[in-house]
């Protein structure tokens, strides 16, 4: 956001109402989800969403380290969102920065809102999100990957948590911004939904929208989340359903 005065501002919306990659305003980028690609974690998932590539792993519930974080009546959920040095155009110095720490916090709190943490007192559920290639919407892609990884790890929770960002480009509310739209658009509103309850457990916003636009953006985001939700479920079904007439393993 806020690239006012930047050179070469691209045309984000054609007269026909199409976006720079040919999508309509209410259309998601292509998304592919794979459950369980990692072998050391209790649960894992890989998400390719547009040009984003994100891996997530869950360890636990397990003994808490460091010990002083232990809670007597429930599991503590620790989340680490991290961007690989090569995941962005300009190399990012390895290590946690303020942005990563904030995103880790809001994602951890989103999961604390749905996980039945009281079933595992004095333990830790560790959620690791690695952004391997970034193109706007990595916190949503990371949250989606982590949610599938939590289910893959057998963690009890109210529901899977789909997420998507809604934004505003050329004065119009648009679903799932890609990088140019995020850079040159007028607003960005990432959200995560609990479909079972219809409530939002992650919500951030930057830019400017009228209350009417915001209302429209919320509706569009909820619809987007429902589409993502179906993909998340399919990824888990693909991993855990075995075809009745399997091919022999090589």
Under rule CB under 8 A, which residues in 7-66 are in contact with another protein? 38-43, 51, 53, 55-57, 59-63, 65
Side-chain half-sphere of 213: how many Cα atoms within 13 Å?
A: 19
Shortest Cβ 180–another protein spacing (Å): 14
Q: Strand order in 52-63's β-sheet?
A: 31-35, 43-49, 52-63, 123-133, 76-83
Nearer to another protein, 84 or 218 (CB): 84
DSSP 19: B
Reference 56, options 152, 120, 159, 122; nearest CA is 152
C-alpha distances in Å from residue 99, one per residue of 28, 71, 126, 186, 202: 25, 26, 19, 20, 15
Choose which of 128, 140, 144, 185 interacts with another protein (CB under 8 A). 128
Measured from the CB atom, the residue of 141 and 217 that comes closer to another protein is: 141
Give the distance, in angstroms, between the CA of residue 189 and the centroid of all CA atoms in the same chain. 13
* Shortest spacing between CB 21 and another protein, in angstroms: 15
Binding map of another protein across residues 152-191, x = CB under 8 A, - = no contact: xxxxxxxxx-------------------------------
Least distance from C-beta 177 to another protein, angstroms?
17
**Is 84 one of the binding residues for another protein (CB under 8 A)?**
yes
Site string for another protein, 188-227 (x = CB under 8 A): ------xxxx------------------------------
Any contact of residue 231 with another protein (CB under 8 A)? no
Print burial letters for 71-103: b (CB count within 10 Å at least 16), e (below 16).
eeebbbbbbbbbbbeebeeeebeeeeeeebeeb
108 and 78 Cβ atoms separated by less than 8 Å: yes
Q: Least distance (Å) from another protein to the CB of residue 89?
A: 6
Q: Is 1 in the site for another protein (CB under 8 A)?
A: no
Output the 3-class SS for 87-144. Answer: CCCCCCCCCCCHHHHHHHHHHHHHHHCCECHHHCCCEEEEEEEEEEECCCCHHHHHHH
Rounded to a whole number of angstroms, the minimum distance from the CB of residue 208 to another protein is: 29
Q: Is 244 helix (H, G, I), strand (E, B) or coil?
A: coil
Q: Which of 11, 17, 86, 219 binds another protein (CB under 8 A)?
A: 86
Contacting residues toward another protein, per CB under 8 A: 38-43, 51, 53, 55-57, 59-63, 65, 72, 75, 80, 82, 84-91, 94-95, 116, 120-123, 126, 128-130, 132-135, 151-160, 194-197, 233, 236-237, 240-242, 244, 246, 249
């Amino acid at each position: 956001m806020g690239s006012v005065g930047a050179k070469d501002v691209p045309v984000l919306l054609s007269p026909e109402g199409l976006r720079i990659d040919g999508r309509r305003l209410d259309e998601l980028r292509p998304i592919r989800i794979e459950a369980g690609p990692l072998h050391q974690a209790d649960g894992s998932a890989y998400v390719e969403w547009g040009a984003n590539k994100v891996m997530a792993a869950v360890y636990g519930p397990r003994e808490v380290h460091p010990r002083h974080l232990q809670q007597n009546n429930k599991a503590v959920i620790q989340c680490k969102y991290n961007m690989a040095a090569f995941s962005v155009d300009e190399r990012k110095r390895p290590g946690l920065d303020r942005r990563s720490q904030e995103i880790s916090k809001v994602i951890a709190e989103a999961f604390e809102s749905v996980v039945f943490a009281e079933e595992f007192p004095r333990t830790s559920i560790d959620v690791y999100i690695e952004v391997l290639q970034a193109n706007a919407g990595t916190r949503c892609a990371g949250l989606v990957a982590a949610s599938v990884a939590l289910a893959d790890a057998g963690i009890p929770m109210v529901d899977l948590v789909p997420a998507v960002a809604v934004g505003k480009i050329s004065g119009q509310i648009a679903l799932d911004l890609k990088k140019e739209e995020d850079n040159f658009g007028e607003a960005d509103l990432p959200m995560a939904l609990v479909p079972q309850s219809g409530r939002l457990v992650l919500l951030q916003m930057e830019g400017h929208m009228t209350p009417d636009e915001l209302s429209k953006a919320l509706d569009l985001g909820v619809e987007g989340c429902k589409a993502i939700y179906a993909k998340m479920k399919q990824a888990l079904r693909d991993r855990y359903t075995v075809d009745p007439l399997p091919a022999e393993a090589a």
